[in-house]
Structure 1
Amino acid sequence: MANRGPPKYRNVALFPANPSTTQAVSTKLSAHKDQVIYASKSYIIIRDLVNPASSKTFAGHGTKNTTVARFSPSGYYCASADETGTVKVWDTVGEDQSVKGDFKVLGGPIKDLAWDGESKRLIAVGDGRGKFAHAFTSDTGNTSGEIGGHSKAINAVAIRNTRPYRAVTASDDGQLVFHAGPPFKFEKVIKTHTKFVQDVQYAPSGDYFASVGSDRKIFLYDGKTADTIAEFTEGGHNGSIMACAWSPDSKSFMTASLDTTVKLWDIESHKPLSTWTLGSGPADHANQQLGAVFAGTSSTSLISISKSGDLNVFDPRVGDAPARILRAPQKAIKVASPFAEDGSTFLAGDADGRVFSYDVSSGDSGLIGGQGHTGVVGGMTLAPGSTGSGGSAKVFSVGNDSTLREIEYEGKEAKPASCGTNGQPISVAVTKDRTVFFADAQSVRAIRDNQILSWEEKIQPSAIAAASEGDVVAVASAKENGTVYIYKWTDKLNKIAEQKGHANPITSIALSSDGSLLAWGDSEGKIVLVDLTKPDSPEVRAKRPFHTCRRVQSLAFLSSGKGEFPVYIAAGGNDTNVRVWKIADAQSVSLAVDIVNAVPTSAGAVWWLGHAEGGKAKLAAGGDDGCVRVWEVTLA
């Protein structure tokens, strides 16, 4: 990332999103050592299993939905593909993730990719409008043979990684096709399956390959000749089998099924060694298993992907349940909040209505339990006095399912509760006395202890903010474009001032913790700073272009913690940048930190983690890619 002037920030962590999934569609996973790579929306995620916060993203496919990513055998490169039939080969080690090759190989979505053992050749398969596969070199894109023999879309491909090279493809036509090469050429058709063949994988040794399909069948073949060795019939699945993956020692492989089970098979006995049940059966869609991979160098890290996006990590030595489950958003992060004033934990809400908790020190994330929102999470705010782990922490959230949720932290368990609202709330804020203010399409309502105390009718709010250490509330009106109403809270909303005349719709609003400063951003990327030292006579102190975007999406104040200047305000917009402005006093504002290309596409939420210490502070941002990024910024 570039910065204007000397660098004033450093990357601290990236909390990754989970894979994108589609009902009854195989999800391809790839691994190298302790890293797993997968497609997530229009991005590729490299997830570090040991230190999740050290994960990486690749945004080289632009706005195109990605479909699959595979590590090269060396792990130095990745080949990733998208819905347009484009393959990109890029560097996984360097910070710049330089693209080594960019090839348009099919006329439609690519479903799978495979590298040869020398990391020199690739085969891409999918649904290319008449052409279902293409073999090519990874550096120049030159053709390296012909992949044929199928009449329908190809779902999977595998290449034997030792000479003599062989390739096998699996298709919706119910067949596997075996190829010799390179250059690759048709050798024979394998008709063991009776329905869609969902996956095929070579053992690392090259001695075998296995196939699985919608007919619930599992077959083992000779890796050189493609002769059928056995069908695995004892202890099989009760639903379509979507994926298979081999252990590093080539002595066993795992399968993942829509029956919500994962099995580990022994190739000698043809029987399951272990079975893990994650749901109640094929009708339990969220727990249907769509993908599988072995990670690490041993045979003790088996990973499957659920339809819900959960990454399930199994250890055959431990029990009949996952050793751990990695949960994170699959959709864009719309709102976020610290879960403790010290910044040790935070929450983020996504476009699916789910709320996730994050631990900054461990890099772990998890799903908040209980009944979540059923629609987009529209707002989230931390209650004053929230002390964090082991103490009294409380966050309020609202969603377009017309609910207000209260999430409490007791020890290590988050317990959500909810109450209904009138209309769909779009924003939420809280004052020092823990009165919650939420804005719906028509009014602002004040709630404490699940009782409505006050409301302000017919102002059609677009955003709301409250002083967490005071009694000031500010509301931007969509009815009167460019108008902000300022209230004093005394168990009812008393309007004390209003700001009119702003030319553009107001999209984000924030108050400093003591209520002395008010800021709002608009749909044209401008910010206005207002001095509320005298709330009944507010003064505009700064009005300037804030971003090069057409919308400021999030604002967050960082105070000195002592009610003194300087104060800092961070902002995120749909220009991908995150910027921090220094307010030296009520009349002096300057750009302090400029994180260019901070978040791919758009920063839906920005927030501070704790207070400033030693002239530094931690700043976080969540975006359209479902990831959370954390920086340490130096406060000039």
Structure 2
Amino acid sequence: MPYENLQTIAPLPPVERGRSFVLSGDPKGKNFVYCAGNSVVIRDIANPSIADIYTEHSAKTTVAKYSPSGFYICSADKSGKVRIWDTCNKEHILKYEYHPFGGEIRDLAWDGESKRILVGGDGRQTYAAAFLWDSGSKCGDFTGLGKTVTSVDLKSGRPFRAICGSDDATSVFYNGVPYKFNKSLKDHERFVNCVRFNPAGDLFATVSSDGKLIFYDVAFTRARGVSDGKQIVTASGDKTCKIWDVETSSVVNEFKIGDDIKDQQYGCLWQNNDILSVSLSGKINYLDKNSGKICREITGHQKNINCLTYHSGLKAAITADYDGNVCYWDAIGGEAKNFTGKGHGTSVNDVATDNLDGLVTVGNDNKLRISSISEQTISDSATDLGGQPKSIAFAGNNQPVVLTTEAALVVNGNKVSTTNLGFEPSCIACFGDKVVIGAKEKAGAFQYSLAGGELTNQTEIAIKDPVFAMRFSPDGQKLAVADKSNCISVVDSNDHHVIEKVYGHRARITTLAFSENGWLASGNIDQKIFVHNFEDRKVEIPLAHRMAAISGIEWTSDTRLISSAQDGSLKTWEISFN
């Protein structure tokens, strides 16, 4: 193939405050799975930079779990749709699709035979349903539920049992199959957030917003001692995770995750020797059972990635998102480190690096911040731009040039030189003293010279449509300009004559990048990436980031490309014209 996806770096779990988050694992203990946006993310537990993303849901996904056989995953979404799909091939072929009730599904569970599935949620009048996986036939009647079911579980072995936790502070127990009401447990005082059976099936536990963890045996007595599953891990809004001994109801180990509100814990998973928890920030914590400490942290983005830049000296990508988070990525290993500090506190619209140690960010707080990459802390000191910034680039002797909605600003320390453009700008590209600014509403792009900290000598580049993206070649001799007609014009940066025009995109082009050997990559809002080698050949990656617009493209070598998208993911591609 002319392209190969070498690596997929998945978005973090999109945790919502006050709502538990479901992490689940596969029976072999190799992967864990969670939902993000309209997608389902499968990550390798030993190497989380290895990931796969399932994107066939049309609504926001809420829960996904492996079947005990490991051959299928059942995932559900906010519309009440359930999809059962294959895990053994890359295409994830759909096996069955059902709609058990018309409302959001909050949790689901398989039985131990991989034959029956229980779902719970807000079906307006139906709050839980059980069905056969291969026919969708009903196999239970879930009465006794008065409000939204937040959590469900099935006993793995015979005789089958089911448990549902609800927003009305009750846990309802059912005998099966078919599942019928047995008993309503009302020991909690607030919402029941999670219910789970132990592996042996002779014990189940419930946790609630009242802070209580209650163990029951299947005879509904407060349990002491079980045949299997002698310890349990819990995650809490008090920013801790705890391992409990079931027999003594005592804490074996406590993990203090942090002190910030973003360190609240909303989900956990115990899979073989690995214990994982999820913070409100989306950070995934690996917990060491013996030491009581965090042994590994997985960071990244929960929300849309707005921008991407690449530091060739450090071989690192730097991204920023809608929430104001800035991440440093090892382009080889895929590990991320979040920049610390208060930062912009809002959407970061663009980032740029001087390929030394400087990182410049601009955000919706109308501020520019210059930070140290090596310190990985967003600077507290900021330059007020007087308007909302749209884009940024380095020109001249590493001077930041910022576009706002009406002007171009040259920043030199605390001094800001403003050039009123007379049009609304869309994008900027710089090389040396050349500064080119595209027009958003009117046709054309305009080249300026940077001299004495100011922009002078405006020259028009004849483009027939408004401009959406631009990029200089590494030697500065060529300028690629993408316009409203989805045409990319490659012009000579000196006399502005058109060298070549390239086509292929059918939607707005958002980003461009030249490789050192002269290949041009482009990405658009229609999830597509094109690579042109200007020898009448091109490589098309039709669904580079399925369900998400491409927000950034950078070359990491002559043939290797990294891309970011508004689903919070990054991908690495190997391109070949052979």
Do both share a fold (TM > 0.5)?
yes
Asked whether 1:344 is paired with 2:286, we answer: no
1:506 and 1:134 map into 2 onto residues whose CA distance is 53
CA distance in 1, matches of 2:290, 2:35: 29
Residue 497 (structure 2) pairs with residue 539 (structure 1)? yes
SS of the residue 1:204 aligns to: coil
- What CA distance in whole angstroms lies between the structure 2 residues aligned with 1:249 and 1:395? 53
Is 2:520 aligned against 1:569? yes
1:527: which partner in 2?
Answer: 488
Query: C-alpha deviations, 1:218-255, integer Å up to 9, x for none?
Result: 11111x43433269xxxxxxxxxxxxxx9x96111011
Matches within 5 A, 1:24-173: 24-32=18-26, 33-62=29-58, 64-173=59-168
The 1-side partners of 2:433 and 2:577 are apart by: 28
CA contact (8 A) 2:55 2:547 kept: no
TM-fit CA distance, 1:131: 0.5
The answer to which of 520-529 and 8-17 deviates more is 520-529
2 CA distance for matches of 1:318 and 1:625? 36
CA distance, structure 2, for counterparts of residue 482 and residue 375 of structure 1: 32
The aligned amino acid for 2:299 is R
SS of 1:510's partner is strand
Q: Quote the Cα distance in structure 1 between the aligned partners of 2:143 and 2:560.
A: 54
d(CA) in 2 for partners of 1:230 and 1:493? 77
Partners in 1 of 2:257 and 2:12 — Cα distance?
18
Alpha-carbon distance in structure 1 between the residues aligned to 2:368 and 2:402: 8
Q: Distance in 2 between matches of 1:42 and 1:139?
A: 24
Amino acid in structure 2 at the alignment position of 1:401 = D
Q: Aligned to 1:598, what secondary structure does the other structure show?
A: coil
How far, CA to CA, are the matches of 1:494 and 1:336 in structure 2? 29
Structure 1 distance, partners of 2:157, 2:548, is 44
Equivalent residue letter for 2:403: A
Within the alignment, does 1:461 sit opposite 2:425 as a pair? yes
Distance between the aligned counterparts of 1:47 and 1:432, measured in 2?
Answer: 43
Q: Which consecutive residues of structure 2, in runs of 5 or more, have no partner in the other structure?
A: none
CA separation of 1:353 and 1:148: change in aligned 2, threshold 3 A: same
TM-score (norm 1): 0.86
Residue of structure 2 equivalent to 1:253: 232
* 1:329 and 2:301 matched: yes
Report the Cα distance in structure 1 between the residues aligned to 2:577 and 2:393, rounded to whole angstroms: 27
2:262 is paired with a residue whose SS is helix
Shift of 1:484: 0.4
1:497 alignment partner, one of 459, 464, 471: 459
2:285 to 285, 305, 312: 312
- Partner SS state of residue 607, structure 1: strand
* Conservation of the 8 A alpha-carbon contact between 1:312 and 1:322: yes
Q: Which residue of 1 aligns with 2:324?
A: 353
Map residues 238-249 of structure 1 onto 2, 5 A cutoff.
Answer: none
DSSP 3-state at the match of 2:349: strand
**In structure 1, what is the Cα distance between the partners aligned to 2:48 and 2:340?**
21
Query: Does the CA contact (< 8 Å) of 1:302 and 1:313 recur in 2?
Result: yes
Partner residue, 1:263: 242
Q: Which is further off, 134-143 or 597-606?
A: 597-606
Aligned residues of 2:190 and 2:208 also touching (Cα < 8 A): yes
Alignment partner, residue 382 of structure 2: 419
C-alpha deviations, 1:18-69, integer Å up to 9, x for none? 111111011111112132211111111112232222111010103x111111
Pair 228,198 (structure 1): closer, same or farther in 2 beyond 3 Å: same
Say which is worse superposed, 399-408 or 308-317, in terms of deviation: 399-408
Specify the code of the residue in structure 1 equivalent to 2:529.
V
Q: CA deviation at 1:408?
A: 2.3
CA distance 1:471–1:249, shift in 2 (3 Å)? farther
1:525–1:249 Cα change, 3 Å: farther
Q: Percent identity?
A: 31
Helix, strand or coil: the match of 1:194? Answer: coil
Contact 1:556 1:608 in 2 (8 A): yes
Q: 1:548 aligns with which of 492, 506, 511?
A: 506
Letter aligned with residue 372 of structure 1: G
Residue matched to 2:477: 516
The one-character-per-residue Cα deviations of 1:448-471 (angstroms, maximum 9, x if unpaired) are 34433563544321111112xx32
Query: 5+ residue gaps in structure 1?
Result: 1-6, 232-245, 387-391, 561-566, 585-589
* Alpha-carbon distance in 2 for matches of 1:305, 1:111: 17
Q: 621-630 vs 451-460, which deviates more?
A: 451-460
Deviation at 1:313, TM superposition (A): 1.4
Q: Residues of 2 paired with 1:414 and 1:544: CA distance?
A: 39
Letter in 2 for 1:521: A
Aligned residue among 275, 279, 291 for 2:254: 275
How far residue 607 of structure 1 moved from its aligned partner, in angstroms, is 2.4
Alignment deviations for residues 73-102 of structure 1 (CA, whole Å, 9 cap, x no partner): 222211111110001111122100111111
The CA deviation at 1:367 is 1.0
Kindly indicate whether the alpha-carbon contact (under 8 Å) linking 1:132 and 1:153 is maintained by their aligned counterparts in 2: yes
The 1-side partners of 2:399 and 2:545 are apart by 33
Change (3 A) 1:538 1:361: closer
1:185 aligns with 2:162: no
Match of 1:474 in 2: 436
1:344 Cα deviation (Å)?
2.4
Residues 177, 189 of structure 1: 8 Å contact kept: yes
Point out 4+ residue stretches in structure 1 off by more than 4 angstroms: none
Name 1:563's counterpart in structure 2: none
Bigger Cα displacement from structure 2, 189-198 vs 94-103: 189-198
Q: How far, CA to CA, are the matches of 1:105 and 1:393 in structure 2?
A: 55
Change (3 A) 1:382 1:635: farther
SS at structure 2 position matched to 1:415: coil
Residue identity matched to 2:36 = S
User: Distance in 1 between the 2:200 and 2:414 partners?
Assistant: 63
1:558–1:611 CA contact under 8 A, matched in 2: yes
SS in 2 for 1:265: strand
Determine helix, strand or coil for the equivalent of 1:286: helix
Q: 1:508 and 1:398 mapped to 2: Cα distance?
A: 18
Deviation at 1:170, TM superposition (A): 0.5
Provide the C-alpha distance between the structure 2 equivalents of 1:451 and 1:571, rounded to a whole number of angstroms. 35
Letter in 1 for 2:388: Q
The one of 553, 574, 578 aligned to 2:529: 578
SS in 2 for 1:119: coil
| Contact 2:224-2:247 within 8 A present in 1 as well | no
Q: Quote how far apart the aligned CAs of 1:11 are.
A: 1.3
Alignment map for 1:396-411 (pairs within 5 Å): 396-410=360-374
CA contact (8 A) 2:391 2:428 kept: yes
